[in-house]
Amino acid sequence: MFINYKIMFSKLAYSVFEESIKNYHQFDNVDQPISNPYPKDKFEHLLYHKNWIDTVQWHFEDIIRDPNIDPVVALTLKRRIDSSNQERTDMVEYIDSYFLQKYSTVKVKFEAKINSESPAWAFDRLSILALKIYHMHEEATRAEASQDHRDKCQLKLNILLEQRTDLSTAIDDLLADIENGDKFMKVYKQMKMYNDDELNPVLYQNKK
């Protein structure tokens, strides 16, 4: 029962990520507002919001690489990317807060070890991987592309799918270890400095 529940956790997350990506691409517009289908008190709400941010930013990054983009437009977009990065980090911290609360009563074993990344940052990687898989599949099946292009993209897609299996397994194992007390969570705030007008010298010098 315990094992099945853990397996469901990574599968649940990935299914929510896929739903978010699919919903975004119904309109494929970075300015479309999010319409989160999950109640705010549900874990799925956090997952959907997290992936929506990632999906929009993915397309921001595509747009800003247009060699013919107007510099003024590019600067405005760079500001939006910075804001999106901060929001992405905030969402990761919200997800970690969920897990801190969930496992707050676990009795940690004396020999327990800390993981190199928190559960939320592992889910962050899974969210980005879902986007890579979606867009690589598009390229592997793009009718107007050459067969050579499609074949190369299919090979890359195969690797991404293998990575999804490995990462999902690692997430399940980490959550199981935390719940068993074999590992413990210790979360550090990201403390980003470049967006903070009290920490970025360029910003606080301009306030004088």
Mean pLDDT of the chain: 92
pLDDT at site 205? 72
Segment 4-35, tens digit of pLDDT: 444 478 999 999 999 999 999 999 999 999 99
When mean pLDDT is compared across 54-58, 87-91, 128-132, 197-201, the lowest value belongs to 197-201
DSSP SS3 for 76? helix
Segment 106-155, tens digit of pLDDT: 999 999 999 999 999 999 999 999 999 999 999 999 999 999 999 999 99
Query: Above 50 in pLDDT, residue 3?
Result: no
149 alpha carbon, distance to own chain's centre:
27
Question: Is the separation of the CB atoms in 49 and 36 below 8 Å?
Answer: yes
Structure tokens at 11: 């599968």
DSSP codes joined into one string, 160-208: HHHHHHHHHHHHHHHHHHHHHTSEE---------TT-TTT-HHHHHHT-
Single pTM value for the model: 0.90
143 alpha carbon, distance to own chain's centre:
29
Mean pLDDT of 80-107: 95
DSSP codes joined into one string, 25-57: TTT--TTSPP---S-TTSHHHHHHHHHHHHHHH
Distance CA 29, CA 59 (A): 8
